[in-house]
Structure 1
Amino acid sequence: MQGYMAKKVVFTAVKNEGPFLLEWVAYHIAIGFDKVLIVSNDSDDGTTEILNALAAENVIEHFYHNVRPEESAHGKAAEIINRSGSIATGDWVMWLDGDEFLNVHAGDGTVDALIERIGERQGMLVNWHCFGDSGHATFPGRFISKDFTQSDTRDYGRNRRVKTFFRWIEGQTSFMRNPHRPRIAPEAGLKNASFLNGQGAPLDRKFPTHKDWLNGDQATAPRSLIYCCSKADYGTDLAQVNHYTVRTKDMYRLKKHRGRSHPKVKANGKANTERHNDDFFNEFNRNEAFDDSILRFEQRTAEGIAALMAKDAVRAAHIDSIEKTRQRIALMEADESAPAAAAPVPAPAAPVAGDAPQGESYEQRFLARRKSIMPWNKTPDSELARQREVQAVLAKLAGAVFGKGSYVSPDAYIFTTRFRLGARSWVAGETIIRGDVRIGENSTVNAYSQIAGKVSIGAGVRIASQVSIFGFNHGYADIATPIYKQPISMKGVTIGDGVWIGANVVVTDGCSIGANTIVAAGSVVTKSFGDNLLIAGNPARVIRSRIDAPNVEMLASQ
């Protein structure tokens, strides 16, 4: 095209990468990419909302699609970009994953410097350089920072894997399911000398995979080798791909939960092997060497993130994604660290004299247990010191904040990421509370109830015994994947002021119950209801209004 100024295009395909997107975009813009293409599918952590907000600001181009179990997310993403018209002949392009950052060593570290070094050739193969968790159990917030400088040694075998930075030729180059190299048409007539390796030399002529690839015979090359270069090719003189494969332990568990971009079901109907296990983490958690070469762009990346966060919709979507991720990690940790608490808790046996610990009388034990199960009783002075200790520990370990005169039984199971208990509110013993839970003032949660996920409870609420309120849910749409491996969604539950929830009620994710509504014992709430109602049944339905004469047909529509 006469007069066309070639673009520098970076492309990625993502699912549930919300917390990392702004840094990835800001960094690659900082080093000189002027077009960012992102394909996403089936995210529930705020990824879609962030990408839509960035696209609305013309920062990126976003392509959304759904992936069925038998489909490859990478394969579909490649087809979408190939057909998009967003790349023109002469553009320089690279497919990087969301945990990969191109780190240019040539010249001033920019994409332009790398293009100048490649010259008239078609492109280059860029080797991986794998980074570990640098000793962090939880994610510090940025990869382009001093928090992530520990990596593998240069002789680590996985570093022979490559990504390709290349010049696009319409009809002769295209993306394929394998993100490591592009598809090349046989008529392109490309040779080993058409591409450079990481040392800046032509590709190794003795490595047969190069020949198969350049001749358009991608299917001929062994899959494991198409990912790689030869030992003679390996080098990072011109550039490397910083690959933060495992990130940190908490984020790795999320990646494991998300699943792979390959089809979940093979052509023969068998499930694809799950690779994100403990062995994979240990293999890629490389911290033997030090590498801070990417930090020359730390300041520019931070400025780029700040500029993106200055856009209202982007900032709101990013903050929401961070919060969803935090809650999801907390729920997984609670499930793993307290399996006994997640199961139904049997009622305690009636107290007998033998129950009392040595040095504690039966009367003292009786009073303590009565207070645990019946928290509306006035806290005896002897219990105040222990209650202060309980609340201090929960403030430290469970993100808890307590209003004046509130009480939590020492026998309650509080495994929250954030917990707000209003003034004069009480939580009885053997109650399980986990996730992000807020309870207003003058409310009571009785014994053996469970509240989990994102739940907001108003003021003056009474929750009877053995009530279950779940502000989260497991996905189940993918029949080929075990439910425990499918994404967790979190719409949340809202309980209005003055609500009375009877014993053995179940409230499911996404429901709200309006102010002053009564939920009859044993009901299962699967939809939202308005104010001042009496509801009952499985599933719950409106019985009548608490204010006017019953008009069930009208109320049932609420």
Structure 2
Amino acid sequence: MRALAILTVKNEAAFLLEWLAHHRAVGFTDFLVFSNDCTDGTDQMLDRLQALGALTHLRNPGPWREGPQWAALKAADKHPLMRAADWVLVLDIDEFVNIHAGDGTLSALLATLPEATAIALTWRLFGNAGVVDFADAPVTEQFPRAAPAGMTWPWRASLIKTMFRNDGAYRKLGVHRPRAPDPARIAQTLWVDGSGRRLPDSYRSGRLFTPLGENPWQLVQLNHYALGAMQSYVLKCDRGRANRDASAFDLSYWVERNFCDIEDRTIRRYAPATAAEIARLRADAELDRLHRAGVAWRQRRFAALMAEEPFRALFGRLMLTPPSRPLPPPLAARMRALGLAAAAKPPRA
């Protein structure tokens, strides 16, 4: 079984080895990684990893009509690795597959869900938990506090990434789910959530989040470390988003993801295998040098941004802002009702 993970990155050299080592431990066999506009050596690091046989790297220079990630996915649609893959998942560098079924591997998950053709992996939002400074240490160990199950607002708490069987039912990749379903095959697809529950047929052609208020993580969840340390978040704002060329992060992005109510260390089942793989990779002197250079670049870049008032002010506001609290059910229901009312309102002329 060949399982392909597709990734788009910019200036993520300090985090790349942990992400790669973790997903090798999970059971992904192939990695197709696109880089754009890197100034921290991420592209050189990916070149070295490709030379070592760990992944396939493609440069993705702009300009792009819809942002670098969409341009990368269009290129991935045509890549030989895509044609060879049995299962495909599009991921970001801050997303970590965390399987609870069996021994925690993709093989165990798929054996538990033998009829599934698409598995909706629901985000579990892992908050910042007051960590101020960037550290060269595993993200999955530094940030163990997360959102509780059953949150119904914000809707991003139920957002998905989709691992799907590459059987021709979908003809194009998407950021959160495959696109362009084949009318002749779509009726045979079976979508399930991360607890193995069958999802409605509407998921075959649409939907970006699993049903609100349920626990979709019994078999598998997608740990989403969207914030990281406060210093790292400032650099994230400086970088911009991968799927929209000129869209910046701000404090609203932080508040909607900084949930720290529940301690969840289940991902530590992978820690020994991940650490061993990182050590094996860093035994290559050039790769180790590039990793250390990426760490030093982050420290220099943060210091430079602190000379600019907008970034300095953002850093201060992050330190002032406590973790977000899940809304009580009546207030969450109120927000959902407001959203439904807005969606039903006809557009203004």
Q: Of 169, 173, 176, which aligns to 2:170?
A: 173
Q: Which residue in 1 is equivalent to 2:7?
A: 12
After TM superposition, the structure 1 = structure 2 runs for residues 21-40 of structure 1, keeping only pairs within 5 Å, are 21-40=16-35
Unaligned runs of 5+ in 1: 1-5, 214-225, 265-271, 340-558
Which of the numbers 109, 113, 121 marks the counterpart of 1:114? 109
Deviation digits for residues 483-507 of structure 1 (CA, Å, limit 9, x no counterpart): xxxxxxxxxxxxxxxxxxxxxxxxx
**1:261 partnered with 2:242:** yes
Kindly provide the CA deviation profile for residues 188-228 of structure 1, in whole angstroms up to 9, marking residues without a partner as x. Answer: 523486121122121134xx4x2533xxxxxxxxxxxx321
**The one of 138, 144, 147 aligned to 2:142:** 147
Q: How has the CA–CA distance of structure 1 residues 337 and 70 changed in structure 2, closer, same or farther, with 3 Å as cutoff?
A: closer
For 2:196, the equivalent position in structure 1 comes to 200
Instruction: Provide the rounded CA distance (Å) in 2 between the counterparts of 1:163 and 1:179.
Output: 7
Q: CA 1:26–1:175 in 2, change beyond 3 Å: closer, same or farther?
A: farther
- 1:455-470 mapped onto 2 (5 Å cutoff): none
The match for 2:274 is: 301
CA 1:338–1:121: 2 relative to 1, 3 Å: closer
Matches within 5 A, 1:333-482: 333-336=306-309
Deviation at 1:260, TM superposition (A): 1.2
Secondary structure, counterpart of 1:187 in structure 2:
coil
Identity rate, percent: 29
Work out the CA distance in 1 between the residues paired with 2:85 and 2:65: 35
The residue that corresponds to 1:244 in the other structure is 225
Secondary structure, in 3 states, of the residue corresponding to 1:12? Answer: strand
CA RMSD of aligned residues (A): 2.2
Matched, 1:291 2:264: yes
Give the equivalent residue in structure 2 for 1:491: none
1:64/1:179 CA distance change after superposition, 3 Å:
same
**Higher helix fraction (1 or 2):** 2
Distance 1:40 1:90 in 2: 21
**1:309–1:211 Cα change, 3 Å:** closer
- Structure 1 residues 204, 234: CA separation in 2 closer, same or farther (over 3 Å shift)? farther
Q: Which amino acid in the other structure matches residue 38 of structure 2?
A: S
Which residue identity does 2:170 align to in structure 1?
T
SS of alignment partner, residue 59 of structure 1: coil
CA–CA separation in structure 1 for the residues paired with 2:182 and 2:215:
25
Matching residue's letter, 1:104: I
Deviation digits for residues 510-530 of structure 1 (CA, Å, limit 9, x no counterpart) = xxxxxxxxxxxxxxxxxxxxx
1:167 to partner: Cα distance = 1.1
Question: What is the CA distance between 1:238 and its match in structure 2?
Answer: 1.2
Question: Residues 288 and 59 from structure 1, CA distance in 2 versus in 1: closer, same or farther, beyond 3 angstroms?
Answer: same
1: CA distance, partners of 2:21 / 2:256 = 29
> Following the alignment from structure 2 to structure 1, what is the Cα–Cα distance between the partners of residues 170 and 277?
31
Deviations 1:95-154 (A, max 9, x none): 111100000011111111111112132121110000011221012333455421111111
Secondary structure, in 3 states, of the residue corresponding to 1:201? Answer: coil
Give the CA deviation at 1:337: 10
* Equivalenced residues, count: 309
* 1:161 equivalent in structure 2: 159
- Normalized per residue, which structure has more strand? 1
Distance 1:54 1:315 in 2: 11
Equivalent residues of 1:37, 1:61 under 8 A apart: yes
- Distance (whole Å) between structure 1 residues aligned to residue 106 and residue 139 of structure 2: 17
Counterparts of 1:195 and 1:145 in 2: how far apart (Å)?
28
Partner of 2:124: 129
Q: Distance in 2 between matches of 1:83 and 1:277?
A: 35
Q: For residues 137 and 175 of structure 2, what CA distance do their matches in structure 1 show?
A: 24
Deviations 1:2-35 (A, max 9, x none): xxxx311111111111110000001000111111
- Looking at structure 2, the residues matched to 188 and 233 of structure 1 have their Cα atoms a distance apart, in angstroms, of 32
Deviation string, structure 1 residues 239-298 (Cα, Å, up to 9, x no partner) = 00000011111111111101112343xxxxxxx6x4510121122122111100000111
Which structure: larger Rg?
A: 1
Contact 1:164–1:181 (Cα < 8 Å) also in 2: yes
Checking the alignment, whether the CA contact within 8 Å between 1:89 and 1:169 is kept in structure 2 is no
Cα separation, 1, equivalents of 2:264 and 2:34: 30
Given that residues 149 and 213 in structure 2 are in contact (C-alpha distance below 8 angstroms), is that contact kept between their aligned partners in structure 1? no
Does structure 1 conserve the Cα–Cα contact (< 8 Å) formed by 2:171 and 2:182? no
1:183 aligns with 2:184: no
Does structure 2 retain, via aligned residues, the 8 Å contact 1:90–1:169?
no
Distance 1:284 1:338 in 2: 19
TM-score norm. by structure 2 comes to 0.82
d(CA) in 2 for partners of 1:17 and 1:336?
24
Inter-CA distance 275–336: structure 2 relative to 1 (3 Å threshold): closer
**Is 1:50 the counterpart of 2:23 in the alignment?**
no
| Aligned partners of 1:41 and 1:64 also within 8 Å | yes
Equivalent residue of 1:87, what SS?
helix
1:142–1:123: structure 2 CA closer, same or farther, 3 Å change rule? farther
SS in structure 2 of the partner of residue 284 of structure 1: coil
Alignment of 1:473-512 (within 5 A): none
TM-score under structure 1 length normalisation: 0.52
The answer as to whether partners of 1:17 and 1:47 remain within 8 angstroms in 2 is: yes
Letter in structure 2 aligned against 1:168: N
Task: Write the letter of the residue equivalent to 1:77.
Answer: A
Residue 322 of structure 1 deviates from its aligned partner by 1.1
Aligned equivalent of 2:331: none
